[in-house]
Amino acid sequence: MITGIGIDIIEVARVKKAAEAHSRFLEKIFTAEEIRYSETMHNKYLHLAARFAAKEAFFKALGRRISWTAVGVVNLPSGRPELTVAVPEALGFDRASVSLSHLNDYGLA
């Protein structure tokens, strides 16, 4: 049963600007695994923006905000993104799906 649907879009430049302006921005918003993954990519901020959008979309679907780092996006060996959530049972669900997209200046989930 679907209990919520969320969508979000963000400009890559906003994520980059925040990271450059605030030394701990990445650590406050992204999991260590998300940061490591983005560091392996040609345009790390493009991938971080899509993950930021995924977290915002999840918060919208959930109907409330939890810790930014309690939610993460990992890539399965197939390349498909998967949303990871700390203690999903306590939030009242057992599974969450995510789809990511990015194009030059925008990240979307």
60 is catalytic: yes
Please check whether residue 69 lies inside any domain of the structure.
Answer: yes
CATH code, domain carrying 37: 3.90.470.20
Please check whether residue 26 lies inside any domain of the structure.
Answer: yes
Please check whether residue 3 lies inside any domain of the structure.
Answer: no
User: Does the predicted model carry a pTM greater than 0.85?
Assistant: yes
- Per-residue pLDDT of 3-37, as tens digits, reads 788 999 999 999 999 999 999 999 999 999 999 99
Please check whether residue 2 lies inside any domain of the structure.
Answer: no
Domain that holds residue 20: 9-108
Please check whether residue 4 lies inside any domain of the structure.
Answer: no
**How does 28-58 read in b/e, with b if 16+ C-beta sit within 10 Å?**
ebbbeebeebbeeeeebbbbbbbbbbbbbbb
Q: Are 29 and 68 in contact (CB under 8 A)?
A: yes
Structural domain count, the chain: 1
Please check whether residue 1 lies inside any domain of the structure.
Answer: no
